[in-house]
Amino acid sequence: MAEAGTPLDVSIGVCAYNEENNIGNLLNNLCRQFIPKPFIIREIIVVSSGSTDRTDEIVQKIAEKDARVKLVSEEERKGKAHALNLFLERAKGEILVVVSADTEPKNGSVARLLEAIKGDVGGACAKTIPNYKKTVLGVFYNFLWRVHNRMLFKEMLNGNLSHLGGDMWAIRRGIITKIPPNIINDDAFIGIALKRKGWRVVFVPDAEVFIRCPCTPLEYISQRERVLIGHKQIEKMIGVAPTTIGALAFKKPKYSIKILVEELKLQKISDYAKILVGIFMEAVSNLLAIVNLKRIESYLVWKQIRGTKIHTI
């Protein structure tokens, strides 16, 4: 890192596929983010992978008004890892920030991530917050993310965090220059890679990014099945499981139960039944992940969950 007071260039990457409903909102959000000195956002690179809607057109129009915005357009979708590698290859900033295309970062959250990259910290991740309705699926999805965020925070305090879990994260440039093209969960893989190289990974609860909740149980199960297969892929590939509540349940059952109970105490008793139904959906997702692990190649190009793309945040 540069000396104090020296400008620090930042590159922001967005991997997108058919995100016409949100890409404009996201880019405008990122362009307006408050960034304190010495950080400077030098470029916002959108890697559009085989988009067939107006995603590329919207990005280009914004690029005409803000020279920091750059479009890298792929004719064919080759998976999130391939798109991310294009960003890692082109990014020139000393700190690289990756933001999911279907999100909305809270103002100032990018700055908080950047400020966390200091000393022996190689990567930092934001707190993911679902926008949800008080349905069974919405309540459980929110509960699941609250448990995940609580676990990330506790693992960081214990010095064990090796997961860039969430939809917005930042790393130092040069530590990870490329990831395997067949990786499903890039954030989990990079977090473990940073830890193995001797860098610390931190969770930044004051950096918040908002996401949408799947609209139907089938959408939820489809989304979770892919994530869980990605976790199993990483464990099989490098022998280390990502930092998730599911993985911790086998290694530290009492510790995991304590996290769940702490979060349950904050929930309304009237929501317990909804959470129980959600746990059943999570069990189904786990079962499908085990059954379909042998077809892992079919999950490399992510299946878009349309329910999370319909409305702007």
Please answer whether residues 111 and 33 qualify as being in contact, where contact means their C-beta atoms are separated by less than 8 angstroms: yes
Beta-strand ranges (E) seen in the chain are: 8-16, 39-49, 69-74, 95-99, 104-105, 121-131, 168-172, 200-212
**Cis, bond preceding 38 (omega within 30 deg of 0):** yes
- φ, ψ of residue 183 to 5 degrees: the values are -75, 135
pTM (2 decimals)?
A: 0.91
Residue 24, both tokens? 């404009």
Tens digit of each residue's pLDDT, the chain (313 residues):
544 557 899 999 999 999 999 999 999 999 999 999 999 999 999 999 999 999 999 999 999 999 999 999 999 888 899 999 999 999 999 999 999 999 999 999 999 999 999 999 999 999 999 999 899 999 999 999 999 999 999 999 999 999 998 799 999 999 999 999 889 999 999 999 999 999 999 999 999 999 999 999 999 999 999 999 999 999 888 888 888 887 777 788 899 999 999 999 999 999 999 999 999 999 999 999 999 888 776 666 656 555 444 444 4
Cα dihedral: 163, 177, 225, 246 (round 10): -20
Integer Rg of the chain from CA: 19
Q: Tell me the CA distances in angstroms from 145 to 38, 180, 299, one per residue in order.
A: 32, 27, 22
Give the per-residue pLDDT at 247.
76
